[in-house]
Amino acid sequence: MSHTYSANFVHCVFSTKERARLIPQERLEELWAYLLGIARNQKIKIVAIGGVRDHLHILLALSPKMNLSKVVCDLKANSSKWMNESGISFAWQEGYGAFSVSPSRIADVQRYIRNQAEHHKKRNFEQEFLDLLRKSGIAFEEK
């Protein structure tokens, strides 16, 4: 068989610099649309996108030839540049979280990402991120 088949779904999470609330509430959806445009231009499939003023969640469907760190770097660099050019002093935190997602869980993760505003009425980004690390079995130092 000469074809390559894959189902590489990755839930990526990254925050603003120092986890500050740098994204104006009224610009969140515009930022998401801009990220979707970046992805479309680079042939990256975004399955879901959402977040709040201090961080974003993106569910990616990556082809086998795509390098996750390059994809995230491109999304962050281009969106940061755009935010700064539109008059907002902006930067993303260095690094990101990336969590593999089973195809059977895609709908659950989409719902989770789309309900970020409601979700963060109960807990902050740090609590959420540490929970994602624990659930994924990723070792980390609490700082």
**Residue 143, pLDDT above cutoff 80:** no
CATH architecture of 8-135: 2-Layer Sandwich (3.30)
Q: pLDDT for 47-70, tens place per residue?
A: 999 999 999 999 999 999 999 999
Contacts of 71 (CB under 8 A, 6+ apart): 42, 44, 60, 62
What number of helices (H) and strands (E) belong to the chain?
5, 4
Query: What type of residue sits at position 77?
Result: A
> Locate tokens 């992805």: which residue?
39
- Confirm whether pTM is higher than 0.95: no
Q: What are the phi and psi torsion angles at 52 (to 5°)?
A: -135, -170
Q: pLDDT for 80-108, tens place per residue?
A: 999 999 999 999 999 999 999 999 999 99
| Degrees, nearest 5: CA angle 46-136-57 | 30
